[in-house]
Structure 1
Amino acid sequence: MTASHNWPPIDPADGWALILTELQRDLERIDPDLVMGQVKQKFGTLSVSAEASDPALADAVHGRIAAAEALSARICERCGQPGRIRQRPDGWYQALCNRHALEAASEMEGES
Structure 2
Amino acid sequence: MESLSEKLNEIITAELNETGKMYTIGKFTGLGWRFNDKVTGEPKVSLKQYDKTVNLYFFPQEDGQPLLPQYESVFKKSNMGKSCVRLKNLDDKKIAAIRQLLQKI
TM range (shorter): under 0.3
TM-score, normalization: structure 1?
Answer: 0.26
Structure holding more strand per residue: 2
TM-score, with structure 2 as normaliser: 0.27
Q: Which has the higher helix share?
A: 1
Larger radius of gyration: 1
